[in-house]
Amino acid sequence: MTLDEQLTVFRTAYQNLELMPLLTQAQVEQFGVEYQPDLIDKLEQQIEDSARPRKLIFTGHRGCGKSTLLAEFGHLMADRYFIVFFSIADLIEMSDVDS
């Protein structure tokens, strides 16, 4: 393998390890993992059964799949709801947040 080929392989591997949400269906198919079989169904039930707008909080360490799960759920619900996907990280400077 040439140096250029090695560099290309390294860059691809590095990019694949980036902790960013899988937002497109192609990304989910390539890198996604299966969730509990009934998890999406439970989320859908929470929304469908709510008499008023419901707020759900998703917590977990960085890279555990919260945004990916919500993106996948959004794709499934897009034919019935207007889906808005955003991240608070896009709105604030994370270094300004006190922990």
pTM of the model: 0.62
Distances (CA, A) of 55 to 16, 42, 58, 84: 32, 14, 10, 14
Please name which of 51, 46, 53, 60 lies closest in space to residue 84, comparing C-alpha atoms: 53
Tokens of 98: 């006190």
Over residues 55-74, mean pLDDT: 83
41-56 residue pLDDT tens? 998 998 888 888 777 8
Q: Which two tokens stand for residue 10?
A: 């390294």
Parse the chain into domains and list their residue ranges: 22-91
